Structure 1
Amino acid sequence: MPRTTHYRFLRTVGILGTLAVVLSGILSPPDPLTQLLYAGPLLLVAVLLAALRTYTDTLEALEPDF
């Protein structure tokens, strides 16, 4: 089954979103509000990077060559 761009975008957002939440948990003090303040901008960056990776050739160097 061929992978569509929608599937690729959702997969990338899922991976980068998980990474953003884990990083906010590591970098922020042990306070839920502060973790949310760290995670919010990181999640926005994750969506932006996923859109750039999926719909443009901006991050083409990160693609594996199979």
Structure 2
Amino acid sequence: MSSSPHRRFVRTLAVFGAIAILLPAVVSPPDPYAQFVYAAPLLLLALLLAVLRSYTDAFKAFERDGHQ
């Protein structure tokens, strides 16, 4: 069953956003500035990937291969 693009966007952004926050928390120094410097580009990348996955056909080939 295919979900709506909006639900897919929110779900994808939640997963990628969590990764974008947790990864810098683990690999960067513990000061807030360094974590922001690492996390900000990753959050923008998460937003871009969520839009591409939800509203375009950019990842259809990957999803199709995964379901076979």
Q: TM-score, normalised by structure 1?
A: 0.85
Aligned twin of 1:19: 19
Unaligned residue ranges in structure 2 (runs of 5+): none
Q: Which 4+ residue blocks in structure 1 deviate beyond 4 angstroms? A: none
Aligned amino acid, residue 40 of structure 1: A
Q: Which residue of 1 aligns with 2:49?
A: 49
Deviates further, 23-32 or 47-56: 23-32
CA shift in 2, pair 1:10/1:36, >3 Å? same
RMSD: 1.7
**Aligned equivalents of 2:23, 2:2: Cα separation in 1:** 32
Give the partner amino acid of 2:9: F
- Report how far residue 43 of structure 1 moved: 0.2
Q: Taking every aligned residue pair, what percent have the same amino acid on both sides?
A: 48
Unaligned runs of 5+ in 1: none
SS at structure 1 position matched to 2:3: coil
What is the identity, as a one-letter code, of the residue corresponding to 1:38? Answer: Y
Aligned residues: 66
